[in-house]
Chain A
Amino acid sequence: MADEITEVRQLLAEVAGNETADSIGDDDLFFEDRVIDSLHLVAIVDRFQTQFGIAVGGSELSPQNFGSIAAMASFLRSKRQSA
Chain B
Amino acid sequence: MVTVDVVEWRCESPLPDQGDGDGVTVGRLSRARPELREVLPRRLARNARGFLARGDEGYVATVGGRFAGWLWLSRVSHRDPWSGLRFRIAPDEAYSYAMWAEPEHRHLGVGAKLMASLLADAKDDPALTRVYGWVDADNREMQVLIRMVFGFTDVQQVRRARVLHLFGVQVPASDRPRFGPVSRAGRHSGGARS
Q: Which residues of A contact B (CB under 8 A)?
A: 31-32, 34, 37-39, 41-42, 45-46, 57-59, 61-63, 66
Contact = CB atoms under 8 A, between A and B. Distances in A.
Interface stretch (B50-58, B88-96, B142-150, B162-170): B142-150
A71 to B, nearest CB: 11
A45 B140 contact: yes
Interface in B105-146: 107, 109, 112, 135, 137, 140-141, 143-145
18 contacts: A37-B109, A38-B145, A38-B148, A38-B149, A39-B107, A41-B148, A45-B140, A45-B144, A58-B5, A58-B135, A58-B143, A58-B147, A58-B154, A61-B143, A61-B144, A61-B147, A61-B148, A63-B148
A29 B173 CA distance: 40
Interface on chain A toward B: helix, strand, loop, or mixed SS?
A: helix
- How many chain B residues sit at the interface, stated as a range, is 10 to 19
Interface on chain B toward A: helix, strand, loop, or mixed SS?
A: helix
B144 A38 contact: yes
9 A-B pairs with the lowest CB-CB distances in the bound complex, closest first = A61-B147, A58-B5, A58-B143, A41-B144, A38-B144, A42-B144, A59-B154, A42-B141, A42-B140
Interface string B2-44: 0001000000000010010000000000000000000000000
Name the residue in A31, A37, A38 with the highest tally of chain B Cβ atoms < 10 Å from its Cβ. Answer: A38
B140 A62 contact: no
Contacts of B143: 58, 61
A62 B147 contact: yes
A59 B151 CA distance: 11
